[in-house]
Structure formats: structure tokens, C-alpha cells
Amino acid sequence: MRAGFRYRNLRHLGGRLVAAGSIAGVSLLLLSCGASNTIDFLYVTSNLQNPGQINAYEVNSESGALHQIADSPYPSGGRNPVYEVTTPSGLNLYVANHDDNTIVEYAIGTDGKLYPLHTVNTPGTEPVALAINSTGTMLYVLDYYAPAAPGQPSYTDLNPGPGALIAYPINSNGSLGTPLATGAANYFPVQCFPTSLAVTPNANFVYVTNTNAVVVTTSPPVTGTVPILPASCPASGTVSAFSVSSSSVAEVSGSPFSTGSGSEPTGIIADPGNGLLYVTDSLFNQMYTYSIQASGALSLMSTIATGTMPMGGTVVNAKFLYITNFKDGSISIYSLSSGGPSLITTSNSGSSGPLCIIADPDTERYLYTADYIGGSVGGAELNPSTGTLITNQGSPYATSGQPTCVAAITHPGGNKNGL
């Protein structure tokens, strides 16, 4: 889901990065899709325009086809929206605008329409990923750069430094409270060039991937300065681990955990059973499975091949794991029936540059990918017995260009808002 994952600034996402997707621009097939056969609402952030855009779609229950709702797209409230999440209640959507260092909260109406409510600035700069806990009480934000020490220049691409995890309590009306603090700091440091984060379903732990390298999805970068790894950061990727609650965040003993020499971890997915964590490596084209100990510490269980430049992922029905491969435009499909993942097959995502991936939350029958390079959303129906995918009718679906991530709610979710 996180979906997702995360990604580094391609300067529009336009040059270097870390996490989200696109599919070939094909005209949207408009199908009859009224309230009676709408099972979900799907939201897709796109960063081609300034300000960014959010495309909103109805999901057809019979085919999984997408139909863009009236008034869509909506402004993202800032430049370069790169990530989004919805609350478990389906009442709110949060969007990270990378270039403005903002998180925008939206109310979701009964018809799937979006209503901007509040905007907050993150303590650091360049938010790249979001995650929300299963109870909908905490929003976790990953800033590419942490705040600089008092009296020191801010961290930028010309003066790079470590990243930051920020923990926002979510108020009953969906607004974000004051970030949790340790001492005078309202953030928790991670290592360099972080890309993604995940919360375990039991809400006890948060994990962050630190590439400690600049992941390049297009070469050379279109604009901007490619940061140089600060001397204070390690030369290989790691995963930072935190024990969390509604009132505290504490780094797990032994954190950060190495993902191996030369590795560049980009995507991270927490298994629904709380016991496993899946981490993708965009340099070595492989995925690591870690067991989560009672303390939150990680122990490597296995390593398995992926496609080229794996990014985001999602677990469906607790039986299958789907990983997007940015460079070859594919989805790797794994069975989880034997505990750790085993490869079933590789499927075409519908276009090029898939980043985020999500299953429809109502039935988990349909999968959708944000395909950054192709500029559209890919849709597929999964076989509940085998996990294999068949492309949806009308897929890929048009977006506002350069889609970066996907989020969804079940159709009844917005009713409690009264909007």
C-alpha cells in the first residue's frame, strides 16, 4: 500500500528518487458506475502540474474499472505531492507536498469528493513518505532532511544531512496535533536519504528504510544537484526501528539494522501478522524478509530476487505479496503460504515506472499501481486462488500526469463526515 513507498525527489520527482509510479497514457473507458456498484474510492497524487493534483475515482464492483468522479482532479495544496494515506475510518486523506514541506488534511465526502481542512509544516524538509497506524490515532511522516542544529545552515541537496521521523497524534476531527518530542526536539533522527516507512498492524513499531545513497530512477537527473553522501552517514543501507505508542517514540536497541554492504533499501512492507517485515533493495534487485522480535529488533530470514529496481509493495488476503519494479515496469508476485515469500510469477503492471501499489480495501480483488513514467494508473484483478493478475477493462487509466502514489477507502467510509 504504503502503500508504498516512498521515493526521492525526481525534481518533480524529476531526476533522482525513491518510490511511486506511472502507466501508459491511454484514454479512460467510461463505464456505468453509480453509487449502487461503487465499492471504493481511489485517490492518486500527480506532480506534473503546479500545484500538484489529486485524481479521485470510483471503483466499479463488477470489473474494477475506474471512473473519475465529478470535480476531480483536486489541488494537492502544494508543489510535488509525493505520498498519501487515508485513515482506517475512511473519513480523511493526508497528502505530503514534498517541495513545500507540508502535510494537507482532507475530509472525504459521502460521494468521494475531497474537502481541504488543515495544513501543517513538517519540522524538517522534503517529506517523502507517510504511514498511519491501524487505530487511526497516529500519523508518521518521513522527512528527507531533518532540521539542522541551532545556528547551523539548513540541510539541502547542497548541504545534505540525516533524515527525520515525525510522529503526529491525530485528533478526533482528523486534524494533526503537536508532534511527539524528545527533549527540545519534535522529531526523531534517522540516517541519510530515507525513502519509506511502515507501521506494524499492531501499531507497536515503525520502521524506516535509509538508503544512505541517492537512488536514481532516470539518468542523468533532469535538474537539481545530486547530493553527496555526508561523511557522518554509513556507506550501506539500513533500517531504523522505533517502538511507538500514542505518547512516545523510542529507538529499538540495535537500530539501525544493516541491509548489507552496498545495499540501497527503498520500499518496506509490514506483514499483517505483525511478525515479518519485507524490504526491497533497488540496487541489488532483491527483497529481504526480516522476522520482528518481541523488542522490535530485526533478524534476516531470507533474500529473494525481484524485478529491476523494486519500489513499493502490498500484502493481499495475508496470502500474496506484490512488489512493483520501477525500471522494468513489472509486478513480482509472491506466495506467503509457506511463511516467507516464494515467487509465483511476474506480471506486467500496465505501463512503465510503477511505484505505489494498493488493493481495493473492500474486496481485495483489484490491484492498482501509480505508474509515474507512463502517466496513468494500472488496474488488475487478482485470482484469489493463485494470486495471478488479469488486466482490468479500460486499464491503464488517465491521471493528471506523473502519478506518485495511490490510496483508497471503502465506499461507505465517508458517510460519517456528513459532507
What average pLDDT does the structure give for the chain? 88
Would 114 be classed as within a structural domain?
yes
Whether the model pTM is above 0.95: no
Whether residue 144 lies inside any domain: the answer is yes
Q: Confidence band (pLDDT; 50, 70, 90) for 352?
A: confident
Q: What is the sign of the dihedral through the CA atoms of 400, 405, 409 and 415?
A: negative
Given a cut of 50, is residue 19 above it in pLDDT? no
Residue 170 inside a domain? The answer is yes
Does the pLDDT of residue 234 top 60, yes or no?
Answer: yes
Give domain status of residue 369, yes or no: yes
Residues 337 and 41: beta-carbon distance below 8 Å: no
**Is it the case that residue 277 has pLDDT exceeding 80?**
yes
| Least confident span in 68-77, 137-146, 223-232, 328-337 | 223-232
C-beta pairs of 212-216 under 8 Å, 24+ apart in sequence: 212/236, 212/237, 212/238, 212/264, 213/237, 213/264, 213/283, 214/8, 214/16, 215/7, 215/8, 215/16, 215/17, 215/18, 215/264, 215/266, 215/282, 215/283, 216/15, 216/16, 216/17
Predicted confidence at residue 347, as pLDDT, reads 92
* Region of poorest pLDDT, from 76-85, 106-115, 210-219, 381-390: 210-219
Confidence of residue 16 (pLDDT cuts 50, 70, 90): very low
Q: Is residue 41 part of a domain?
A: yes
177-201: buried (b, 16+ CB within 10 Å) or exposed (e) per residue? eebbeeeeebbbbbbbbbbbbbbbe
* Residue 26 maps to a domain: no
Could you read off the pLDDT of 161-196 as tens digits, one per residue? 999 999 999 999 999 999 999 888 999 999 999 999
Report the pLDDT value the prediction gives residue 68, as an integer from 0 to 100.
96
CATH of the domain at 113: 2.130.10
Domain, as residue range, for 380? 35-234+244-258+351-417
Q: Is 83 a member of any domain? A: yes
Quick check: 273 pLDDT over 70?
yes
Torsion 86-92-93-96 (CA) sign: negative
Instruction: Locate 357 and state its grid cell.
Output: 501499489
Distance, CA of 120 to CA of 337 (rounded, Å): 42
pLDDT of residue 417: 54
Q: Which three cell numbers stand for residue 49?
A: 502540474
In this structure, what are the phi and psi dihedrals at residue 98, rounded to the nearest 5 degrees? -55, -50
Band of the pLDDT at 348, cuts 50, 70, 90? confident
Q: What is the pLDDT of residues 1-12, one digit of tens each?
A: 433 333 344 433
Task: Name the residue among 363, 190, 195, 358 with its Cα closest to residue 268.
Answer: 195
Report pLDDT for 30: 26
Q: 45-59, 217-231, 256-270 — which is least confidently predicted?
A: 217-231
Residue 320 resides in a domain: no
- Residue 416: its pLDDT value, please? 52
**Tally of domains in the chain:** 1
